[in-house]
Amino acid sequence: MSQQRVALVGLGSMGGGMARVLVNAGFAVHGYDVDPQREAEFAAVSGAAADPAALADVSAVILVVVNARQVEEVLFADNRFGPGGIVGCLSPGAAVVNCATVPPAFAREMAGRIGPDRYIDAPVSGGTARAASGDLAVLASGSPAAFERGGAVLEAMAGTVYRLGAEAGAGSAMKAVNQLLAGVHIAAAAEAITFGMAQGLDPGQIISVIGDCAGNSWMLQNRGPHIRDGDYAPLSAVEIFVKDLGLVDDIARDARFSAPLTAAALAQFLAASGSGLGAEHDAAVAKVYARNAGLTLPGDTE
Amino acid sequence: MSQQRVALVGLGSMGGGMARVLVNAGFAVHGYDVDPQREAEFAAVSGAAADPAALADVSAVILVVVNARQVEEVLFADNRFGPGGIVGCLSPGAAVVNCATVPPAFAREMAGRIGPDRYIDAPVSGGTARAASGDLAVLASGSPAAFERGGAVLEAMAGTVYRLGAEAGAGSAMKAVNQLLAGVHIAAAAEAITFGMAQGLDPGQIISVIGDCAGNSWMLQNRGPHIRDGDYAPLSAVEIFVKDLGLVDDIARDARFSAPLTAAALAQFLAASGSGLGAEHDAAVAKVYARNAGLTLPGDTE
């Protein structure tokens, strides 16, 4: 049996890990990125060239780009892949697996344009560490025919593939629910840690004690240590939550859904970005709280 | 060796469980409550009368009342215990262990009035199930002398006693941090579940899938099922979070600490209380979201 050939577009902190997991799982993976150095590094690992001509032979293309605009551009615009983008290059049976965070309505639109028997709405959650270890949660929806085509590659790069419905959109809706909670919980962790510091508590003690209490969250344990250690190297940047909570806010506004915690958390990430912290780790939202309270955070040299 | 005699004031959903754990641990427990029926039921279990005269012989009194006002009233006001309240009845060596959620400044004041060698600032976290099983987290602070007097009874009714400092106030500060997170996370869980429902997702599916994602929290898993099942029997009522987030908001205002997520969550609990849901389970904050979005929740018969 010959090696299955797939393409992955977007070799960033999530996609780079996912592409390497697929290589290790035995796939021939053609990796593409706007950054030529990333492309070259990945091609050296995979042994498969970042050649647009290869797209004609892949059974699936996986998109790990930033947002809906990039998805549309990569798939349909006249670009380096050719006139009409990637969709113009693929064989008619190839699956399109979209892992980017997009509005549910956009996922439905893509399924309509590409064909519901080929499109899987497949955003992921778990962060860079789980991406690199092949342990991501995939929040997927799409037709049985589309899973027939693209399900195996999803299974190969994930810990669990949740199949949330037979139509595109359900996966993206669940991802929006997750990003709502993730973004609110990061801001809440920053609010709680700095509030506690203002009351004389130690940040490390807060994280460990609350870990045993009803106020615990995945984000408190994951992002809290970055605040405790003053470590803002951008595994996931402030701008990602400006984008993702912005997306939730847009969906909520369109649906006339009042989401005050989302709005409050978004305002804090906007303040972080607006004050020059957009490229830092999203835990840097704590710096907004600290500045507003006249507090000095760990690692703050000013 | 004779049985150690202690008193516990406040036999509600938390204190009732804690008092029974102490009985099972071998203490003679005199239990007091404003509700005579609760008192009688507990006296039948403990075999120790709810007699104010018994206070002269206890080694520790544990307060599990609702707020600072009740603490002060029970300890110092002319009341059923006698002129000058409980403090007037105790032997000079008896410890006062305060598990009520109070401002850190109030805890410091109590330690000053009662004596720092006798007062333990000891709020708890974990909910009614962990109270009943003796598995609470105690967020304690106080002097070594105070722990010498009251530490054993704390250990007997808790899973873990965190000793957060040698002065009263640190325990209450950590409890405020926990309540900030707990209250924000309950409102966030309600916001996320109803937002997802508005996008066509199933509440049970949201809780289980997000349990494997970065958006997970203790509260999503603990309160979410109440929303999923339409079960609003008040284990912990909306009014408790009106009180506790109000306390956090007060502390933050006094400290000139800007806490926008706390404020947004408090506004949702206030809307729940103001619209008649104050005595329901705190998960009923979801009804505010549902009403505002024109959604029908599970169990909603209207």
Q: Which residue, among B141, B185, B207, B247, would best test binding to A if mutated, counting the most A CBs under 10 Å from its CB?
A: B185
Please tell me if residue B188 touches chain A, with a CB cutoff of 8 Å.
yes
> For residue A302, what pLDDT is reported?
54
CB-based contact B257 A178, cutoff 8 Å: no
Please tell me if residue B187 touches chain A, with a CB cutoff of 8 Å.
yes
Q: Which residue of B has its CA nearest to A294?
A: B257
> For residue B32, what pLDDT is reported?
98
Q: Give mean pLDDT, residues A254-265.
A: 98
Residue A1 has pLDDT above 80, yes or no: no
- Joined together, the tokens standing for residue A220 give 């408190």
From A81's Cα to the closest Cα of chain B, the distance in A is 34
Query: How many CB atoms neighbour CB B166 within 10 A?
Result: 14
pLDDT digit string, tens, across residues B66-120: 999 999 999 999 999 999 999 999 999 999 999 999 999 999 999 999 999 999 9
How would you label A137-161 residue by residue, b for 16+ Cβ within 10 Å and e otherwise?
bbbbbbbeebbebbbbbbebbbeeb
Question: Given the structure tokens 């039948």, which residue do they identify?
Answer: B44
Q: Chain A partners of B267 at a C-beta cutoff of 8 Å?
A: 260
- Joined together, the tokens standing for residue B162 give 């965190």
Q: Give mean pLDDT, residues A151-175.
A: 97
Query: How many CB atoms neighbour CB B279 within 10 A?
Result: 12
Residues B170, B187: Cα–Cα separation, whole Å: 26
Residue B172 has pLDDT above 80, yes or no: yes
Q: Which residues contact residue A182 at a Cβ distance below 8 angstroms, ignoring those fewer than 6 apart?
A: A125, A219, A241, A244, B213, B214, B215
| Residues A23/A46, Cβ–Cβ less than 8 Å | yes
CB-based contact B267 A260, cutoff 8 Å: yes
Burial status of residue B294 (CB atoms within 10 A of its CB: 0-12, 13-18, 19 or more): exposed
Q: Which residue of B has its CA nearest to A189?
A: B181
Query: How many CB atoms neighbour CB B1 within 10 A?
Result: 3
Taking alpha carbons only, the member of A167, A107, A157, A108 closest to residue A137 is A157
CB-based contact A252 B176, cutoff 8 Å: no
Whether B243 sits among the annotated catalytic residues: the reply is: no
pLDDT digit string, tens, across residues B220-260: 999 999 999 999 998 889 999 999 999 999 999 999 999 99
- Joined together, the tokens standing for residue B8 give 């516990």
> For residue B31, what pLDDT is reported?
98
pTM over 0.80: yes
Residue A3 has pLDDT above 90, yes or no: no
CB-based contact B182 A267, cutoff 8 Å: no
Strand order in the sheet with B158-163: B124-125, B136-140, B158-163
Q: Which residue, among A177, A186, A210, A228, would best test binding to B if mutated, counting the most B CBs under 10 Å from its CB?
A: A177
Q: Which of A187, A205, A257 sits opposite B195 (nearest CB)?
A: A257
| β-pair partners for B137 | B125, B160
Burial status of residue A88 (CB atoms within 10 A of its CB: 0-12, 13-18, 19 or more): middle
CB-based contact A181 B215, cutoff 8 Å: yes
Q: Looking at residue A277, what DSSP letter applies? A: I
| Residues A113/A84, Cβ–Cβ less than 8 Å | no
Q: Is A232 helix (H, G, I), strand (E, B) or coil?
A: coil
> For residue B300, what pLDDT is reported?
87
Q: Chain A partners of B170 at a C-beta cutoff of 8 Å?
A: 200-201
Q: Which residues contact residue B251 at a Cβ distance below 8 angstroms, ignoring those fewer than 6 apart?
A: A195, A199, B103, B104, B176, B257
Q: Which of A159, A214, A248 sits opposite B178 (nearest CB)?
A: A214
Q: At B302, is the pLDDT very low, low, confident or very high (cuts 50, 70, 90)?
A: low
Residue B1 has pLDDT above 70, yes or no: no
Q: Which of B214, B256, B289 sits opposite A125 (nearest CB)?
A: B214
Q: Which residue, among B195, B208, B228, B287, would best test binding to A if mutated, counting the most A CBs under 10 Å from its CB?
A: B195
From B73's Cα to the closest Cα of chain A, the distance in A is 26
Residue A2 has pLDDT above 80, yes or no: no
Selecting among B175, B185, B223, B287, the annotated active-site residue is: B175
Q: Which of B191, B200, B248 sits opposite A180 (nearest CB)?
A: B191
**Amino acid in the structure at residue B177:** V
Strand order in the sheet with A124-125: A124-125, A136-140, A158-163
> For residue A301, what pLDDT is reported?
72
Query: What is the ipTM score, two decimals?
Result: 0.94
Mean confidence (pLDDT) of chain A: 96
Residues B42, B47: Cα–Cα separation, whole Å: 8
Q: Is A254 helix (H, G, I), strand (E, B) or coil?
A: helix
Q: Which residue of B has its CA nearest to A200?
A: B170
| Residues A238/A225, Cβ–Cβ less than 8 Å | no
Q: Is A65 helix (H, G, I), strand (E, B) or coil?
A: coil
Residue B2 has pLDDT above 80, yes or no: no
Residue-by-residue DSSP string for chain B: -PPPEEEEE--STTHHHHHHHHHHTT-EEEEE-SSHHHHHHHHHHH-----GGGGGG-SEEEE--SSHHHHHHHHHSSBTTBTTTGGGTS-TT-EEEE-S---HHHHHHHHHHH-TTTEEE--EESHHHHHHTT-EEEEEB--HHHHHHHHHHHHHHEEEEEE--SSTTHHHHHHHHHHHHHHHHHHHHHHHHHHHHHTT--HHHHHHHHTTSTT-BHHHHHHHHHHHHT----SSBHHHHHHHHHHHHHHHHHTT---HHHHHHHHHHHHHIIIIITTSBGGGHHHHHHHHHTPPPTT---
CB-based contact B162 A265, cutoff 8 Å: no
- Residue B120 φ/ψ, nearest 5 degrees: -115, 125
Please tell me if residue B213 touches chain A, with a CB cutoff of 8 Å.
yes
Mean confidence (pLDDT) of chain B: 96
Helix A170-198, helix A238-254: angle, nearest 10: 120
> For residue B234, what pLDDT is reported?
87
| Residues B297/B287, Cβ–Cβ less than 8 Å | yes
* Greatest Cα pair distance in chain A: 65
- Joined together, the tokens standing for residue B184 give 């924000």
Q: Which residue, among A181, A222, A247, A253, would best test binding to B if mutated, counting the most B CBs under 10 Å from its CB?
A: A181
Rounded to a whole number of angstroms, the CA Rg of chain A reads: 20
Residue A198 has pLDDT above 70, yes or no: yes
